[in-house]
Amino acid sequence: MIILTLNCGSSSVKYQVYDWQEKLVIAKGLVERVGTAESVIEHQSRGKEEVTRTQSCPSHKEAIQLMISLLLDRQVGALSDITVIQAVGHRVVHGADRFAKSIIITPDILDMFREVSDLSPLHNPANIMGIEAAQAVLPDVPHCAIMDTAWHQTMPDFAYTYPLPYEWYTDYRVRKYGFHGTSLLYVAKRAAVLLKKKPRETNCISLHIGNGVSANAVKNGISVDTSMGLTPLEGLVMGTRCGDIDPAIPFYIMNKTGLAPKDVETILNKKSGILGVTQKYIDRRDVVSAARTGDPQARLAIDIESYRIKKYIGAYTAALGSVDALVFTAGVGEMNPPIRQKSLEGLESLGIVVDPQKNALSRTRNAETEISAPNSKVRIFVIPTDEEMVMTEDTHALLTGTYDVHTNFTYSFQSPDYRNKLRDEAFIQDCEKSPGLKNIVAG
């Protein structure tokens, strides 16, 4: 079975094609600047050079058509015919509290996603556009939805209920939902493997740190709390989102400046966080570089982000009672040792002790590494996430009738013998550049 997975943002389409029989990624890519005359696609098929092309993609439909044209291209493609794709898995950011697991998309299901789009106005409309565009291009195959919020449906009511008028919850669905669930599911299951424990015996704190950032408390293998809330705006400091702030601040600024609520909402989502503090940077690599050259606002941004991460680690340690592992994942979590180091300093009283040398070495998206010191009671892992693998496995299981909620379902990557062939090949190249990586591989 050949499975295509799609992750559609407001102006992007990320895709992967997986051969289930061979257990192999055969193609992947990203279309950016969808909606403009100069959309850019970066595409790579297994065993072939990566290609970059520019082409007008006024909508997601054209972006998906461009993707398919490269998949079928004789020189750079991976497929002989579009009909070999037998299923499509779609990332959907917000499923509200209606879905605790992935599902095959029907017209009624798509209507439900539309109904809850007001809870995720920056994400769900793009997800829906991507589904509709893919269905138009591939109308004869099943399409499945894999929801970010599903992983967090195990949170207890005292963790997801806000101390607000209760009718806001009953009438308007105001509660904590949490996001990044597909990524957090993957790293929690992999942490259990590295600990040589069953998921139901594992407590961990996962930190998905990219442009968006989530902290997740996992007790006995299930999500019991997370930093993002009703929307992805709550929680830790992010690339352009503020995270936790005094809720009176927006009203104060509106009174002072005359800004409209919509303008303030845009600022909190798109002009705050790291960008708001530095006034110029979003990418943490740029922030770290600027801090090293003496930029005081870049240094302040790192201090704020690291301090907030440290506070969440402490809070979730208290909530869990005992912690087996701390996990870093996503772009910054996997590739930015300075932010990891600063976030972990001073946590020795919690049994969390980082090895600075191991941490400095750990910069790879192709292997799981351990950066804890020998005397650390809590093991510290850097686990490259693989949302596409979760999406692929959920899609395959839905179509074969073997799927269930994750507590009753075993993923292939829960096996101690699981290997990602593409990452194994790339890790050889990583080790040629940084030989010390081999010495900190986890497990």
Kindly list the distances between the CA atom of residue 390 and the CA atoms of 113, 242, 306, 347, 377, in Å, as whole numbers in the listed order. Answer: 20, 29, 29, 32, 30
Structure tokens at 226: 């997370």
Q: Which of 19, 148, 283, 424 is catalytic?
A: 148
DSSP class of residue 417 equals: T
Beta-bridge partner residues of 441: 369
Alpha-carbon span 120 to 233, nearest angstrom:
10
Classified as helix, coil or strand, 29 is strand
- The two three-digit tokens of residue 276, written as one number: 């708001």
Instruction: Look at the chain and count its residues.
Output: 443
Strand positions, DSSP E, 33-95? 36-45, 51-57, 85-92
* Residue 260 burial by Cβ neighbours in a 10 Å radius (0-12, 13-18, 19+): exposed
Q: Is 97 a catalytic residue?
A: no
Sheet strand arrangement including 379-382: 222-226, 213-219, 204-209, 325-329, 379-382, 369-370
Q: How far apart are CA 203 and CA 220, in angstroms?
A: 6
SS3 18: strand
285, amino acid identity: R
Give the Cα separation of 206 and 224 in Å (integer): 12
Q: Which residues are the active-site residues?
A: 148
